[in-house]
A and B are shown apart, each in its own frame.
Chain A
């Protein structure tokens, strides 16, 4: 990249199944207050706010107005970008590299508890050929999971191991919504949602918000002793219809990752990256995303999981925070992944600290079967 862009602070709410005690703006405030307090900045120091939220999920056709006041967007600059919060970091990075903006507040909020997931997702479907079928992201994910497991011989046990491991990791994360002591058997005997996906293979409904202050590298040195740099970032889309792509592969993720790796100078992800935070709405996705990111070959995600390398203390710990399966909202998840990487790289991750973590990978995704993929590399 032309210059360095730094994350000066990252804040998150505790993730919760139902924050009926707050409105959207009040929820975002909790995360924003943290980053302003840590940096000593006020909203008047913020040159630009970049936010992500989703109108249908907010039940308002201008969801950014729910947070206008708390991001300082009254008589000031605010952009709302689509998809995951990592996309907002991407836009913020470009703004800072333009040289015209120095301090950017990135905010992502979501109250999944207030909306009808299946209907919003059905409304996301292409209208002529797909929507009338009543598809949603669960049924399409199930089509993807089945195809992936069939093509590469991935087992339900291997997927269940992800569900177990991530929720065990969450026990060391005070912000996690649903840490759990469960076994592979518990996952395999949980209720079927849509074959082969079971209840414990899926993330819970979650409310929460995440905020971040990004600045130029030069400015960051005046704000924090522990800047974490955006080393590389990119995104990529798959075809929309599940019929128009090979569902068992995530080529868009590979393209996004390779672009981010090139910017960051990552040659061998398994060797060069110390910690990975993924957005896995369903357990099979963690195996698939690890393939797409190049930590193992296509179809090797199950064996990679079996090898134990993704465990805490393993070669490449994945989702020390507990991941999306332990409760993180859509839209927020990728930004929260980056926030966890900031803590890890700063050495502030408490009981879940990955020893000596210097380089982190944050992943965000949105849409049916991981249609939109975003990858960021963070480092010292």
Chain B
């Protein structure tokens, strides 16, 4: 365990570095698996329509937030969409998949909800809300069943 000793006025304070390391498993569930496998194998984006309120969720989910309906009607949404908001990170964290990502909420054509992902292949100053973008998928051999199988969204 590494340690740092801090001098605080006349006291010597002992501070040590530690971490909790606990591996975890996360089930994507039947619906999440189908979404991720369709991205991986077919570059298809599956949403879910609520039969009660007709709202289309992308990514697909099992229950409607609005009416608590149990959903089972998959609908394919477009890989093209509109930027609803975005941000350019100026500093990186180790959780981020790329350095200084540009995050965006993108409403895909055919979906009523926003998809949070990244923008790329664009000069930062040219990004605007309302901009039309298209998903850039990774090559088939690099796709592993993850939202990161989409590298980023690029301008249309």
A interface with B by C-beta (< 8 Å):
20-21, 59-61, 118-119, 122, 127-136, 138-140, 142-147, 150, 191-197, 239, 241-244, 247
Contacts and interface: CB of A to CB of B under 8 A. Distances in A.
A132 B87 contact: no
B103 A133 contact: yes
Interface in B15-29: 15, 18, 20, 26, 28-29
B114 interface: yes
17 contacts: A20-B15, A60-B20, A128-B28, A128-B59, A130-B116, A132-B147, A134-B97, A136-B93, A138-B89, A139-B87, A144-B85, A145-B87, A150-B129, A192-B88, A241-B114, A242-B116, A244-B57
A367 B36 CA distance: 26
A132 B147 CA distance: 8
B46 to A, nearest CB: 12
Interface in B34-56: 36
B96 A134 contact: yes
B13 A20 contact: yes
Interface in B102-128: 103-105, 113-118
A191 B93 CA distance: 17
Contacts of A191: 90
Given A133-B147, A195-B87, A243-B114, 8 more contacts: A122-B93, A127-B26, A129-B59, A132-B146, A147-B105, A193-B89, A196-B87, A247-B85
Interface string B71-102: 00000000000001111111101111100010
B6 interface: yes
Contacts of A239: 65
Contacts of B118: 133
Contacts of A122: 93, 95
B32 interface: yes
A21 B96 CA distance: 33
B20 A133 contact: no
B87 A146 contact: yes
A132 B148 contact: yes
A58 to B, nearest CB: 10
A116 B26 CA distance: 22
Nearest to B32: A128
Contacts of B117: 133
A191 B11 CA distance: 34
A128 B36 contact: yes
B112 to A, nearest CB: 9
B8 interface: yes
A134 B148 CA distance: 11
Contacts of B96: 133-134
A129 B59 CA distance: 8
Interface string B115-156: 111100000000001000000000000000011100000000
A21 B11 contact: yes
A147 B105 CA distance: 10
B18 A146 contact: no
Contacts of A21: 8, 11, 13
Contact of A118 (B26, B93, B105, B115): B93
A146 B93 contact: no
Contact of A243 (B15, B116, B129): B116
A247 to B, nearest CB: 6
Given A133-B97, A134-B97, A134-B101, A195 B114 contact: no
B101 A244 contact: no
Interface centre among B26, B29, B93, B104, by most A CB within 10 Å? Answer: B93
